[in-house]
Structure 1
């Protein structure tokens, strides 16, 4: 260890993403595309006794290493990751080098708490006269000898010692006052009845229809933990009845503020105007969803899509229960004119260059009818860009009839379907006809619609929330919303043919 020479404080960084190392590199490449050049990606590996090791990398390091690797290669094998990583319950420095011919010349630490949860990445700063900027956040230490692979452990006190016992260095801790979460404002419109027991400062909405068909406007503040992983809605496990959500670990609804119309539109227009693309998206949730659940999902969508514009949800009064299916069917039809008026107002009042409309499950029924009506209304030209239907609980015949009109009112229509969706199978049993969100032999293929078979994407136990819980699918939506890419330009899709035409399928 004679070569260890760290004479500057350690710079701690919290701007990173985290994902599993023991997975194919294809989804990791998708994550890398969403990262800015100054961000890091931490690969985690869990071993016996639930011990997790962390391996931090700069984005460019992984891009270079994965360039010639097969998409289905396992990342940990391509990178030759050892079983002992950058950390344990104590701090550890890990030498990052692909091989002795290409030493990276840097060392990394990770800061973990007593439970082994990652708090930050530590990178030793270089001597000022030899500084080489890696990113706007980080510097690296002077090059270490190529033969140095694993350096000294850092004691609980945070003191790093040279092997010969000289030059003790105390690293800087995480920046004081930096919260382990960030806040995502979600604009909302809802025709739910307001809870009469809620206060002005903390508004709550019920699962009942609003009196006089009144639509309320406002803003929800949702916290997203800095440890958030793409495609995950971090919530306490339901079987842990005593568990309470924590802002440092879970996505939480912090506040709901109802706003008068003029203030709502002013704040939304400001949010749109301050974004580079001047855009907004409106998310219409599905069956069995409460107001709070809709707010959390919308915030997750905005985060996973790296969306800088105005994230908006339209929350109709779903009963929020599995047994409320038939009631929700009537309510979504009742909400349709309210949704139409709200979309028209968003397009007219925000000066947005692009508005994306996204509907899930039963929410697609209202959006299909609304989009059909909007095609002949006086919307600003070319305002609606992406029209996305995720697992739509819509009669497949009705959807095919509407396809031509839908494609005429926006830049692109995308349909995500699956043959493993149990909720849609239940709906088909009730109605006697296939749903547009089903894949298989009866998959909907229509001119002007990009149909994506998402059957191979892992989803939840119902196979119905894959739109916001499946990593590859979220990556696909990212390129659709952020770049407007057609399926042939998006990573991870294979083209398929059937008697009705061409559709796309996620690669195995």
Structure 2
């Protein structure tokens, strides 16, 4: 995370705002570690994406701080003092966009993720998706170690109130729309936070929430069903990105006493019946050996995916409109979109 003063021709820069429950770390090039803080901290980081970037990949430097012509690198990084400074920085970025197009998305990372990894991932997703809004990373205190699954679970749970606070600041900002993307264990803290916001009865500005994407969700399926019962039928699109060959979720299922996880649930129609739209990437070849980060590849086709979804995937007399090939069932219908990753179609399962 050590900044590089000089950029590279053809590199593209993105400003990432950070809200975190991690401890600040004074070591050079670190900013935050994996231990829990008792208060929220904020930062602004300017990231540079190299001209040779391959969609879905993160070109990590072999040694710090990296080469901006070949690697993801930090161009500038600084702490923000408090809530006010965070909102001021957010609004400054939003006001670079015209009114009506002031969008932002909050990304919540998963288990076994170091601070720097979260920053690099949100930068890659923002860049590959050609997202024209403001990226905000909410990073809870993961130690980034495989053996600390329980610690990470408790850290995510402890971060619920902080994530709610950040979402409420975002919804009260100049943003016209706030999208939410969560990955893996980050889904646990995200869905729990949205649930407690619903229970509180304070729904001010929640009409600004756009889409919510739950990718590779490490949530017990029965727990998720109870959460969805609290929400009721979602007013805005809720997308669940699944893959039946997700090895990380298989390990989580084993740790959880063979209880199914949302992100690898074999019954996608059941999830669709709860009011979600399921994006099934089982047939897509993953870039990681655990098949756990396919959502990052999805960013590459996000512009086309947005266009297709904007047309509507509505059932008309049992047939999916704008669908291409489809096959129906009692609970939901499956559509193979005219978009592929690594030669495989993206499937969407939607409820009746």
* TM-superposition CA deviations, 1:453-508 (whole Å, max 9, x none): 1101121101001111x2x5641476449974545799998645455433555654
Quote the offset at 1:226 in angstroms.
Answer: 2.0
Quote the offset at 1:414 in angstroms.
Answer: 0.3
Structure number having the greater helix percentage? 2
**Partners in 2 of 1:455 and 1:315 — Cα distance?**
27
Q: 1:486 to 1:458 in 2, by over 3 A?
A: farther
Matching residue of 1:467: 295
* TM-superposition CA deviations, 1:243-300 (whole Å, max 9, x none): 9732111112343311123232112112113224111000000001111110111111
Aligned residues: CA RMSD = 2.9
Uncovered stretches (5+) of structure 1, i.e. residues with no partner? 1-176
**Partners in 2 of 1:429 and 1:247 — Cα distance?**
41
Q: 1:242 to 1:234 in 2, by over 3 A?
A: closer
1:198-277 paired onto structure 2 within 5 Å: 198=28, 204-210=31-37, 213-236=38-61, 245-261=66-82, 262-276=84-98, 277=101
**Partners in 1 of 2:333 and 2:166 — Cα distance?**
34
Uncovered stretches (5+) of structure 2, i.e. residues with no partner? 1-6, 315-319, 338-343, 346-352
Matching residue of 2:348: none
Kept after mapping to 2: 8 A contact 1:274/1:309: no
Instruction: Kindly name which structure, 1 or 2, has the bigger radius of gyration based on alpha carbons.
Output: 1
Kept after mapping to 2: 8 A contact 1:302/1:311: yes
Matching residue of 2:105: 281
1:312-351 paired onto structure 2 within 5 Å: 312-348=136-172, 350-351=173-174
- Ranked by relative contact order (alpha carbons within 8 Å, sequence separation 6 or more), the top structure is 2
Q: 1:410 to 1:474 in 2, by over 3 A?
A: farther
State the secondary structure of the residue aligned to 1:358. strand
Q: 1:318 to 1:221 in 2, by over 3 A?
A: same
Matching residue of 1:386: 211
Q: Give TM-score, length-normalised by structure 2.
A: 0.81
1:438 to 238, 244, 264: 264
Kept after mapping to 1: 8 A contact 2:114/2:142: yes
Give the length in aligned residue pairs.
320
Q: 1:415 to 1:429 in 2, by over 3 A?
A: same
**Partners in 1 of 2:324 and 2:246 — Cα distance?**
20
2:9 to 146, 160, 179: 179
**Partners in 2 of 1:319 and 1:183 — Cα distance?**
28
Kept after mapping to 1: 8 A contact 2:8/2:69: no
**Partners in 2 of 1:493 and 1:364 — Cα distance?**
31
Quote the offset at 1:178 in angstroms.
Answer: 6.5
Matching residue of 1:370: 193
Matching residue of 1:354: 177
Kept after mapping to 1: 8 A contact 2:130/2:303: no
Q: Give TM-score, length-normalised by structure 1.
A: 0.58
Matching residue of 1:448: 275
State the secondary structure of the residue aligned to 1:437. helix
